[in-house]
A and B are shown apart, each in its own frame.
Chain A
Amino acid sequence: MAEATRNDAEYGEGPWFRPSTIKPGLAGWLTTTNHKRIGMLYLTAIGSFFTLAVILGVLMRVELFAPGQQIMTARQFNAMFTLHGILQIFLVVIPAIPTIFGNFSLPTLIGANDMAFPRLNLFSWYLFMTGAALAMTAVFTNGGAPDTGWTFYVPFSLKTSVNVPMATFAVFILGMSSILTGVNIVSTVHMLRAPGMSFGKMPLSVWGLYSTAWVQILATPIIGITMLLIVVERLFGIGVFDPTKGGDPLLYQHLFWIYSHPAVYIMILPAMGIMSDLFPVFSRKNIFGYKMIAFSSLAIASVGSLVWGHHMYVNGQSDTAGIVFSLLTFLVAVPSAIKVINWLATMYKGSIHIEPAFLYALSFVFLFTIGGLTGLFIGALAVDVQVHDTYFIVGHFHYIIFGGTGMGVFASLYYWFPKMTGKMVKKGQAVVAWLLTFVGFNVFYFPYLIMGWQGMPRRYFDYPAAFTGLQEIASVGAFIMVAGVALIFWNLIQGARRGEKAPANPWQGATLDWTLPSPAPLENWETPPIVIKGPYDFDHSEEGK
């Protein structure tokens, strides 16, 4: 056996996760440059941060179960929502799909053996972990956890006594990691596609990751410099954001949102791409409007970079600017709707197979549509004055980010689970987990839309008694949802440990990744595959078996 394993290490056979014979154990994992292993490093780290952030969220929902103080002080509550935001945005949602599936799946989708820059890839993971470590350290040192909200708005972030500089520096480091991942993905797509895979034959998930990578490259440097300026401002007082020295706090908001609005598309675009792969696979039907979906990803990436001012309608920018930003915001709805309508058209008269991954994909469409439509409400100048900084925004955002990206991540995990582990999950348990998550989510966040409409401001520690009923419903929904998420974790972990053996292509997908055995080998292809058919040309001869 030992002999065979050594041969495997030399010749690259066997599953991708088998221990390295040269560096067994943790050392082998921490020095790996293999794209699947790095994807798994990210999955482990991001899974932990997600768990931590969810726990913080639950604590906040416990606090908000009744008016007045329950389990924490107002100051602790401020730190809680700030940490929840920093963790979820910068350590979970932004990196999740580009780093986990951009690493694990992207090369297998385009017929490559690895990313373009494997060592840079590992370096990005170390930067990511350094940023995460700094963010965690900031919580316990030099004044304690930041209480500014994840947006670090000046002048408060310049004046508050807590450890803002370290947290913003952590975001800067995380940004560098994100940039390098983006560079790697763009280079990989340009340089390493298998022979025959033209841009028009790429799976739409690759289009999604590719568009996202461009946003990562072009938008992230702006938050990098903005966060760095907060550090410099705090340490040396250069004055650029400080009104007492002639600086302009509004400029901070511009710079912040020039990145942070496109960042929302970094979060949602790759999930949309993967959805565009899942709908054809589980409907056994070619995608409706391939070119329009691919093009709409680019359209969202480009127009989405010009809408940051819609975060600033009530902050004193000129009416003209407001009108232009509002118009551009409405324009983004067009490519988004193209995707939704094309997914539905793909299902029409398809042979629909309900699998856990597809349940999440369907939830994605339902929840993303609610999130998108509420986005149009707040994209309108007059309506936004009413709901700005209320629970309505929080509800809208979570419908897009948890309902969209979160469901997208779960869909992707269930979709590629057989390829990752070589096992199948327990389907019944997976469906129960999905139902709890989906129902819990709606019970949780739909009241947010109502409360926001009624004027409940976001980030408040306390509320008038009139909101008690809806707040309690939201808390109960949160508890149901968290039970669902816990069951998803349990289902996946148990599936990986003792699930049934998975066939090479359990969903009858037509993309290249499903031509590999399950679990995938360490080295994808001995000789590069030659691509002659499209990503959604399904082989119907397997039907009915």
Chain B
Amino acid sequence: MSDRPAVAKGEAATHTPPYNPAGGRLGMWLFICTEVLLFGGLFLLYSVYRYRYAADFHAASALLDRVFGTTNTIVLITSSLTVVLSIFEFERGRPSRTRLYILFTLLCGFAFLGIKGFEWAAKFEHGLYPGAAHLLSRPFGEVLYFGLYFTMTGLHAVHVIVGMALLFTAWLRIGSGKLRRMRPAFLENAGLFWHLVDVIWIFLFPLFYLIS
């Protein structure tokens, strides 16, 4: 998201409209709406198939490890807190503390992806992945459950990576002094995106881990 409605340098920038953070915020919220709808399509598929194959879904859910899922939920919620704290510190003009909190958030992101990767690897070992002969020998509902599990957590992981890239960019820009207290839009929007990633997980976690 652009944090500044202006004309590019060298292209007749006679005047720049006064800085209005509401513009960038509005754009980001609209974008978040589209992200929710993107996942909405997947949640729709999930509801239809869970309704159709309720018993299979419950059985398949028992194959997931709740300890990993719960740990990851705690990790992500903590990271959302640290993002809020980083913005809080930034608005009070304390860039080094801001960067520390962003760094902690990034660490949480890595931890989340690590645990997720570990979980995925375990599923692959047990032949529970799309296209595996073992999975295909199981009932339809379980095939679809794992198809959706990998698609939805996979797409979510892509969003985690994008969110981390955004936060890392904010970390760099604050360090080099390019992102300043008066114009926090970039950090705020990166934070908003991170909360979106968190909220999506809050729905994924019970729907996949807690239904058995």
Interface status of A226 (Cβ within 8 A of chain B): yes
A246 to B35 alpha-carbon distance, docked (Å): 27
- Of all chain B residues, the one with the shortest Cβ separation from A176 is B34
Rounded to whole Å, the gap between the CB of B29 and the closest CB of chain A is 9
Interface status of A232 (Cβ within 8 A of chain B): yes
For residue A183, which residues in chain B have a CB less than 8 angstroms away from its CB?
A: 27, 30-31, 34
Interface status of B131 (Cβ within 8 A of chain A): yes
Rounded to whole Å, the gap between the CB of A33 and the closest CB of chain B is 4
On whether A118 and B7 interact (CB within 8 A), knowing A113-B17, A191-B26, A237-B130, the answer reads yes
Chain A 218-259, CB-CB to B under 8 Å as 1, else 0, gives: 101110111011001000111110000111100100010000
Interface status of B114 (Cβ within 8 A of chain A): no
Q: Are B27 and A187 in contact (CB under 8 A)?
A: yes
Determine, out of A9-17, A273-281, A386-394, A450-458, the stretch whose residues face the partner at the interface.
Answer: A9-17
Q: Are A248 and B30 in contact (CB under 8 A)?
A: no
On whether A526 and B44 interact (CB within 8 A), knowing A34-B7, A220-B34, A239-B143, the answer reads no
Q: Are B44 and A255 in contact (CB under 8 A)?
A: yes
Interface status of B168 (Cβ within 8 A of chain A): no
Shortest 7 CB-CB distances between A and B: which pairs? Answer: A246-B140, A12-B12, A238-B147, A225-B41, A221-B37, A22-B10, A221-B38
For residue B17, which residues in chain A have a CB less than 8 angstroms away from its CB?
A: 113, 192
Interface status of B107 (Cβ within 8 A of chain A): no
Rounded to whole Å, the gap between the CB of A360 and the closest CB of chain B is 32
For residue A120, which residues in chain B have a CB less than 8 angstroms away from its CB?
A: 1-2, 27
Q: Which residues of chain B from 99 to 157 have any CB-CB distance to chain A below 8 Å in the complex?
A: 130-131, 136, 139-141, 143-144, 146-148, 150-151, 155
B residues at A contact (CB < 8 Å) = 1-2, 5-8, 10-15, 17, 20, 22-24, 26-27, 30-31, 33-35, 37-42, 44-45, 48-49, 52-53, 130-131, 136, 139-141, 143-144, 146-148, 150-151, 155
Rounded to whole Å, the gap between the CB of B37 and the closest CB of chain A is 4
Q: Are A222 and B10 in contact (CB under 8 A)?
A: no
Q: Are B48 and A248 in contact (CB under 8 A)?
A: yes
Q: Which residues of chain A from 184 to 225 have any CB-CB distance to chain B below 8 Å in the complex?
A: 184, 186-187, 190-192, 217-218, 220-222, 224-225
On whether A246 and B8 interact (CB within 8 A), knowing A113-B17, A191-B20, A240-B148, the answer reads no
Interface status of A20 (Cβ within 8 A of chain B): yes
A117 to B30 alpha-carbon distance, docked (Å): 13
On whether A186 and B30 interact (CB within 8 A), knowing A34-B11, A526-B14, the answer reads yes
For residue B141, which residues in chain A have a CB less than 8 angstroms away from its CB?
A: 246
Rounded to whole Å, the gap between the CB of A122 and the closest CB of chain B is 9
Q: Are B23 and A116 in contact (CB under 8 A)?
A: yes
For residue B13, which residues in chain A have a CB less than 8 angstroms away from its CB?
A: 12
Rounded to whole Å, the gap between the CB of B173 and the closest CB of chain A is 15
Chain A to chain B contacts (Cβ below 8 Å), 19 pairs: A12-B12, A33-B11, A34-B8, A113-B17, A114-B6, A114-B7, A120-B27, A187-B30, A190-B26, A191-B5, A220-B34, A221-B41, A225-B39, A236-B131, A245-B143, A245-B147, A523-B14, A526-B14, A526-B15
Chain A 10-51, CB-CB to B under 8 Å as 1, else 0, gives: 111100000010110000000111100000000000000000
For residue B151, which residues in chain A have a CB less than 8 angstroms away from its CB?
A: 229, 232, 238, 240
Q: Are B1 and A192 in contact (CB under 8 A)?
A: no
Interface status of A119 (Cβ within 8 A of chain B): yes
On whether A119 and B30 interact (CB within 8 A), knowing A11-B14, A34-B11, A221-B35, the answer reads no
Q: Are A217 and B14 in contact (CB under 8 A)?
A: no
Q: Which of B8, B42, B139 is A118 in contact with, Cβ under 8 Å?
A: B8
A224 to B35 alpha-carbon distance, docked (Å): 10
Interface status of A522 (Cβ within 8 A of chain B): yes
Known: A237-B130, A238-B147, A526-B15. 13 other contacts (CB 8 A): A9-B10, A31-B8, A32-B8, A34-B8, A115-B5, A119-B8, A187-B30, A192-B5, A222-B38, A239-B144, A240-B49, A248-B49, A255-B44
Q: Are A191 and B22 in contact (CB under 8 A)?
A: yes
Q: Are B26 and A9 in contact (CB under 8 A)?
A: no
For residue A238, which residues in chain B have a CB less than 8 angstroms away from its CB?
A: 130, 144, 146-148, 150-151
For residue B24, which residues in chain A have a CB less than 8 angstroms away from its CB?
A: 117
Interface status of A365 (Cβ within 8 A of chain B): no
Q: What is the interface of chain B mostly: helix, strand, loop, or mixed?
A: helix
Interface status of A179 (Cβ within 8 A of chain B): yes
For residue B40, which residues in chain A have a CB less than 8 angstroms away from its CB?
A: 221-222, 225
Q: Are A237 and B5 in contact (CB under 8 A)?
A: no
For residue A10, which residues in chain B have a CB less than 8 angstroms away from its CB?
A: 12
Chain A 106-147, CB-CB to B under 8 Å as 1, else 0, gives: 000000011111111000000000000000000000000000
Rounded to whole Å, the gap between the CB of B60 and the closest CB of chain A is 12
- Of all chain B residues, the one with the shortest Cβ separation from A246 is B140
A229 to B150 alpha-carbon distance, docked (Å): 12
A179 to B7 alpha-carbon distance, docked (Å): 22
For residue B143, which residues in chain A have a CB less than 8 angstroms away from its CB?
A: 239, 245-246
A118 to B22 alpha-carbon distance, docked (Å): 16
Rounded to whole Å, the gap between the CB of B52 and the closest CB of chain A is 8
Rounded to whole Å, the gap between the CB of A462 and the closest CB of chain B is 38
A248 to B143 alpha-carbon distance, docked (Å): 13
Rounded to whole Å, the gap between the CB of B185 and the closest CB of chain A is 11
For residue B139, which residues in chain A have a CB less than 8 angstroms away from its CB?
A: 246
